[in-house]
Amino acid sequence: MKNKQVSVSIIIVWLFVVFPNSLAAQAQPEILTTNQMFLNARNLAAEQRYEEARALCEEILAINPEYHEATILKARTFAWQGQYNQAISILENLLDNNPDITDAEVALVNAYIWSGNYEEAIPYLEKLIEEYPNDNEFLFNKALALHNTGDHNASADLLNQILNQDPSHTRALGLLLEVQPLRVRNQATIGYRGILFDAVSPWHMYFLEYGMRSAALGTIVTRLNIAQRRGLMGTQAEIDVYPSLGRGTSMYINLGISPDTRLFPQFRGGAELFHSFTDSWEASAGLRFLSFVNKNLWIATGSVSYYLGQYIFTFRPFLGFTTQGNASQSYFLVVRRFFSSPTHHLTLTVGSGFAADQDALIGAEIYDVASNNFILHYQQQISNRFLLRVGVGYHLIPEGIWGNKYTIETGITYLF
């Protein structure tokens, strides 16, 4: 009887302890295998071996159709290859049956934005921001989507929120620089620029500007320059156009005429193409033409800009050639530090040489003078409607017939 009780006890222990553990031990290799397969698929995707990664995801899903991480990774590989429709279809189907998978929502938002479907991304971003209100990545993507759907004011508000949380957020600053001008339809500026020399009387230039937004041409700025120099008076009319050529690409176009050829070129024109290659790097290339009474001046220029936190560093050369065979060159480094907004900044310019394209008062007479330049500009929005700009400069001219040059500048802009 005692032996029978012992046998029964052994059977019970085996049924309730040994057998379940044995089953778990048999199942464990399958779980580990799918997890390891997923890690392998993720590594393949990181190496841009997307087809192999998708094939491994398919094997995982054949074993366990509820392995959502594999479904999301499969969709991401399609998006990374630019096959956005496939990615969107997979993620939408997954979220239809499982509406609260955050990683799937994030992947779907990326696919929508990369494919230009900004309106479709906004509802998912609103849901994500409701759950993660201070996530700068979600805030930035919503700002980008709003900007591309025409809601520039809401976009700017979100970008300012990001910069308040993280002033070094380079992408937010770059996008705000693009968005901010679109919030203002019109602006008018009045300004003054004075040039003082060691050996001659000061020169003066006054300017009036009117800027407006155009759906077709982007920002358009018209300008009237009035110069006074050594008893002479002159005027020049200019127009600048800044058309957008798509995401990250824009142009600058300039035309100007003057009847007073003693102070200004009788005709001037220029064009420059700008392109953002990454969130941090931008480059441009362009050409200027200035036509004087006794010579024509061609100027090749360009720039390379790097965004670092609240700073932009820009290098810009000017290479000038005249119809008389003369040549000149100048090089400038510009460092701009932003503060509370894109309209609030301090700019330091240092350079060597003279740029006729940038100095309207001297360009008609001298284009190849050697000089070392140190210029400081400050701009701040002093109210909702007004911008104030001031600047000073010192230009060391080793062989200048008029001595060293000093510049002062001020201007006020009304936004409306």
Here the tokens at position 4 are 């029978």
Can you point out the beta strands (E) in 309-404? 311-322, 327-338, 345-352, 372-381, 386-396
What confidence tens digit (pLDDT) does each residue in 362-373 have? 544 555 566 789
Q: Where are the chain's structural domains?
A: 28-182, 184-415
- Contact criterion met (CB below 8 Å) for 386 and 414: yes
* Predicted pLDDT of residue 11: 45
* Predicted pLDDT of residue 191: 97
* Topology (CATH level 3) of domain 184-415: Porin (2.40.160)
* Predicted pLDDT of residue 367: 52
Residues of the chain with pLDDT under 50: 2-6, 8, 10-20, 22-30, 363-364
* Predicted pLDDT of residue 359: 61
* Predicted pLDDT of residue 13: 45
C-alpha to C-alpha distance for 79 and 108, rounded to whole angstroms: 9
* Topology (CATH level 3) of domain 28-182: 1.25.40
- Contact criterion met (CB below 8 Å) for 299 and 310: no
- Contact criterion met (CB below 8 Å) for 297 and 266: no
348 DSSP β-pair partners? 335, 376
* Predicted pLDDT of residue 26: 45
